[in-house]
Amino acid sequence: MEPENLRKHPESQNVNARKRRALLKSALVGGGAALAGFFSGPLAEAAANPREQAAQDAVNRATRAMPAPKIKDLSVVEVGGGGANDSMVVKVTTDQDGLYGYGCATNTFPGGRNKLVRAAVDQYIKPLVLGRTTDRIEQIWQICYFSSYYKNDTVQNCAIGGLCDALWDIKGRQAGMPVYQLVGGKVREAADIYLHVGLGPESGDQNKQFIDNSKKLVEKGCRNLLLAMFIRDGAVNNLYGQPKFDDGSIPFDRDKEIRKVLSAFEAFRKEMPPEIGLAVDVHSALDPIRATEFCKAVEPFNLFYCEDLFSPEEASHYKIAREQCATPLAIGELWNNPHEWQPLVEDRLIDYVRHHVSHVGGFTAARKIAAFCDNYEVKFAWHGAPNSPVGHMTNLTLDLTSSNFGIHEHFDYPPLVQDVFQGCLQIKDGYAWISEKPGWGIEVDEALAAKHPITDERPNEMRTPDGSVIEGTG
């Protein structure tokens, strides 16, 4: 029954109804802002305005009055695992006890600049984000990206990627779910991998060694193998008859390397089962004419791709190669600017993008790259080394949640790296399996990491026998 006073004063009932409608409308508006805030990124104390504060209050109410965590500290953890196993991650600590996260910021061997990434985090990114709430990942990414008038360099992108990937880790830990569950779940159970295989010492029969090395990996369940062009396989004496120049650089013979690779591939296809995938990484070591001829020469071997045939600076040659042969093409580990890869994808001049995820700004940026490429039937195969185990888990999360996944580059970590990073992804029967633990599923032994800093960074230099400096990696 209605209260007596409402029957006697119907105007009071109308006023109360209007108040209830106004209150409901306010709640709905607040809730919408809360949802927008949840998917946009954190809020700075200093930059808060009434509307943003109202949205943040709605988030706090939605989490049963628990305030959103705020960024209390940023630190950098590095591990000198040796060459391709060097790692660098950003740790974000919040104002809530026991809540933190890790994100990959690796930018090391060869010719890397990990010391600059540390400086970028400590001196530029950290002062910008302290005190902000951790829930606005996209907004924090944008704030950091636009904080510099000069954008898209590898150092800045690694710092941003490390920070924001740590925020994704935090969000997963809060939710009690792996990050892949936060972005729609899996589209596949595990990721097909490839492993690197070498020719072996030059003193022996390199074709036989290449076949034997390949068979050992296939026996472990691997179905896809890649041979990389490196100094070690094309090393020669310089024009003075010496194995090194005065500054220690090693001369590299591009024609010798081409002959060795083509001979090894011919032997591989004769000896190995036809279903075993084969690829080559040129490392941009060939000039455009040699590269185009090489791309045509490997076509009969049915590669799953030929990687970094040309450097990003010579990207216009991909059109020439595309017109002359059907060898699948992949490029990307040197990219950090969208204008480097968008034209190649839009014109369908490549088949795989190979971005190093931290170099382009981390998980947040890579998801957008994958979605863009999907519109053009271009697959991705994220660069895998050097990379931290956190970065590999980030790559695998993208692999399992995106429809245009191609293949996963995998390296086995040495015992030291596995001791520091507890919870590395698992390999079984040629597939990479993701962790089901919250966030990226990895804990870091920071005390052990502090005892093993990165010490093996060196300049990246390749020369021809006459002393000319050329593109490539060693």
CA distances, 378 to each of 232, 296, 331, 345, 409 (Å): 32, 21, 11, 7, 17
* Confidence band, pLDDT 50/70/90 cuts, at residue 204: confident
**Catalytically annotated residues:** 240, 283
Higher pLDDT, 11 or 52: 52
- Look over the chain and give the mean of its residue pLDDT values, rounded to a whole number: 88
Residue 266 reports pLDDT greater than 90:
yes
Residue 24 reports pLDDT greater than 50:
no
Higher pLDDT, 6 or 454: 454
Confidence at residue 37, expressed as pLDDT on a 0 to 100 scale:
41
Higher pLDDT, 154 or 14: 154
Residue 38 reports pLDDT greater than 60:
no
**Both structure tokens of 115:** 């010391």
What mean pLDDT is predicted for residues 312-316? 94
Residue 25 reports pLDDT greater than 90:
no
User: Quick check: 472 and 213 in contact, CB under 8 A?
Assistant: no
DSSP, collapsed to helix, strand or coil, labels residue 199 as: coil
Confidence at residue 269, expressed as pLDDT on a 0 to 100 scale:
97
Return the CATH class of domain 181-436. Answer: alpha beta
Which of 357, 400, 364 minimizes the C-alpha distance to 178? Answer: 400
Most confident range (mean pLDDT) of 14-23, 86-95, 195-204 is: 86-95
Higher pLDDT, 26 or 237: 237
Residue 235 reports pLDDT greater than 70:
yes
Neighbours of 95 (CB within 10 A): 15
Map tokens 């962790």 to a residue: 435
CA distances, 53 to each of 307, 332, 373 (Å): 49, 41, 37
Map tokens 């400590």 to a residue: 122
Integer Cα distance of 291 and 452 in angstroms: 39
50-88 exposure pattern, b = at least 16 Cβ within 10 A, e = fewer: eebebbbebbeebeeeeebbbbeebebbbbbbbeebbbb
Residue 26 reports pLDDT greater than 50:
no
Please state the CATH superfamily assignment of the domain spanning residues 71-178 in this structure.
Answer: Enolase-like, N-terminal domain (3.30.390.10)
User: Quick check: 87 and 162 in contact, CB under 8 A?
Assistant: no
Whole-model pTM?
Answer: 0.84
Residue 8 reports pLDDT greater than 80:
no
Q: Which phi and psi (to 5°) does residue 388 adopt?
A: -80, 160
Percentage of the chain modeled with pLDDT above 70:
86
Which residues, other chains included, contact 289 with Cβ-Cβ below 8 Å and sequence gap of 6+? Answer: none
Helix runs in 147-253, H state only: 154-175, 179-182, 206-219, 231-234
Integer Cα distance of 468 and 465 in angstroms: 7
Residue 363 reports pLDDT greater than 90:
yes
What mean pLDDT is predicted for residues 264-270? 97
User: Where do the domains of the chain lie?
Assistant: 1-29, 71-178, 181-436
